[in-house]
Amino acid sequence: MAFYTIYTPSGIPEESYRRVASVDPLVADRKEPPEMLRLARFTDIAEWDVTAEYLRIARAFYEAEQHHADELRRAEGEPAFEQRQVGNRARLAAIEAGLIRRSLFVARRPG
């Protein structure tokens, strides 16, 4: 099995965990993917950290939305646009702080 996932690394302080949960509750989990794979009896687990590429793409997405801000504000309204950009900035800050990671995992299930 192979998959990409975005997750919160274990061992971060509680305050940082709450920060991630406020930015993106779906990635705020106390168990890292390798631990969950082992619990599901997968073996030969390999991880490739692609967080730098994720940060590059997240930044490009944010900048593209800023570039088209006038059109987006007209299409969806000022509050919706601003709320999303606030979330995007918070996500960028969390990635840069090492609180959100993206990795490619490969694992094998015996049998």
Q: What is the pLDDT of residues 30-64, one digit of tens each?
A: 789 999 999 999 999 999 999 999 999 999 999 99
- CATH number of the CATH domain containing 86: 3.40.50.150
Q: Using an 8 Å Cβ cutoff, are 108 and 42 in contact?
A: yes
Phi-psi map region of 28: left, alpha, beta (phi>0 left; psi -120 to 50 alpha): beta
Can you give the pLDDT at residue 31? 84
What is the number of domains present in the chain?
A: 1
Which residues constitute the domain of residue 14?
2-108
Q: What is the pLDDT of residue 24?
A: 83
Tens digit of pLDDT for each residue in 62-80? 999 999 999 999 999 999 9
